[in-house]
Amino acid sequence: MTTCTLVLSLDLSNISGVPAPVEITVEIDRAAHGGFGVGRHEGRVVFVRHSLPGERVRALVTDGADDARYWRADAVEVLSASPDRVTAPCRYARPGQCGGCDWQHASLPAQRRLKAGVVQEQLSRLAGIEWDVVVEPVPRHDDDQDDDGLGWRTRVTYAVDDEDRAGLRRHRSHEVIPIEECLIAHPGVRSMGVEGRRWPGVESVESVTSSSGERLVVVEPGQLDVEVPDLPEDVSVLVGQDRGRPRVLHGQSAVTELAGGRRWRVTGGGFWQVHPGAATTLTEAVLEALAPQPGERALDLYSGVGLFAAAIADRVGRGGRVTAIEGDRSAVADARHNLSDMPQVRIVSGPVAKILARDDDARADVVVLDPPRAGAKLAVVSAIARRRPRAIAYVACDPAALARDLAALSTHGYELAGLRAFDLFPMTHHVECVALVRPRA
């Protein structure tokens, strides 16, 4: 028997439903969506962070009353360790500390197996779909075969505590854990030194580094007067505003990303995939799934700054048509700038569900959608199905939302025809999927 002590004390005084620390011993059976190990204690399900399937752990309950159906807990001592367990490289990735990383205590191959199992479980439970899933590694650079799972996140939002220190939040808490260095942050993010500076009057700081090497921070004020510390001269500084684009204090309002042989303007903290290899990987997967043909009509829903729209437009040609719909006005402005050389692309600004309802008679041969974490939901799914596309590429960052939307599509005569999963968020529980959906034969 192997004994591995992780941490022996947690401050539970502010956690609802736990009047005093409760210590339990749990056998971990499986992994659950959200980065937990799952076990049972006296018949009650317990979701245990910092544990792995096959382990026996001593855990402190962090959430759950005596009559609750389930508890949440942190593993503070491993009594019998999994062979997949490794020492977490980051000293903040432990009970009571940063909640950003879920699986630093597991080897990278084990992390991918766990994520694959979660995707399979969500598809089976929520959509009745049995599907073998393999989570593919994604290199940070073209010459990488694989990596250590660190240094990939090109956009990091730091919260600021009452002492003006930048940090990350504790799991399921508003408490800010000041940190000296985030190991999953890209070197370009770490080079700005956000963690080592004070941020008076600031609520949060988003640090962005682009594939072109540009660096930018977006400061969200917590009060009227904010003080922005000195940063390297080449770092652009923006201050968020309640309405409209952030105000530029220094430098430029946007960064330039490079992908698909094109340059992409992304304003402020606008959406762009945070893994350096994501844009190319996902674009290739979408094109492989849809196989757009010259002259076809396509829909790109939640189209952002136009990444997928451009790739599909190249395939359908000037005789085809791509309608890109996006609700974020800043992203729409960027998309119109980025795709100004593609007359076959029409960019529509507004909520996706409302735009689809308004243009309900529009035909689509192929559809790509990359909705937010909550998924597309019933109105959008139904509107897509009414257009009877021959292929749908669904890009999903949440397997539960994907499964629910696939279940909805099945009621309209569509079925899952292919699925690829990518490890775009190493050390966390997140996984990106590209699902191919076709009319049922």
Judged on CB neighbours under 10 Å (0-12, 13-18, 19+), 161 is middle
Judged on CB neighbours under 10 Å (0-12, 13-18, 19+), 163 is exposed
Judged on CB neighbours under 10 Å (0-12, 13-18, 19+), 361 is exposed
Residues within the annotated binding site for S-adenosyl-L-methionine? 273, 302, 326, 370
Closest CA to 207 of 177, 244, 169, 168: 168
Instruction: Identify whether 182 is a catalytic site residue.
Output: no
Which one from 90, 101, 182, 397 is the annotated catalytic residue?
397
Residue type, 180: E
Give, for 122, the enclosing helix (H) or strand (E): helix 108-127
- Looking at residue 170, the DSSP 8-state letter turns out to be B
Sign (positive or negative) of CA dihedral 340, 262, 324, 353: negative
Q: Which residues pair with 255 in a beta bridge?
A: 266
Per the CB < 8 A criterion, the answer to whether 39 and 50 are in contact is: no
Which pairing describes strands 297-301 and 366-369: parallel, antiparallel, or unpaired? parallel
Tell me the CA end-to-end span of the chain in Å, nearest whole number. Answer: 53
**How far is CA 182 from its chain centroid?**
17
Residues within the annotated binding site? 273, 302, 326, 370
Please state, in angstroms and rounded to a whole number, the distance separating the CA atoms of residues 441 and 437.
Answer: 12
- Looking at residue 389, the DSSP 8-state letter turns out to be -
DSSP-derived 3-state class of residue 119: helix
Please state, in angstroms and rounded to a whole number, the distance separating the CA atoms of residues 356 and 367.
Answer: 12
Please state, in angstroms and rounded to a whole number, the distance separating the CA atoms of residues 57 and 81.
Answer: 8
Per the CB < 8 A criterion, the answer to whether 111 and 91 are in contact is: no
Per the CB < 8 A criterion, the answer to whether 200 and 208 are in contact is: no
Provide the greatest CA pair distance for the chain. Answer: 68
Characterise 42 by phi-psi region: left (phi > 0), alpha (psi -120 to 50), beta (else).
left
List, by residue number, the catalytic residues.
Answer: 397
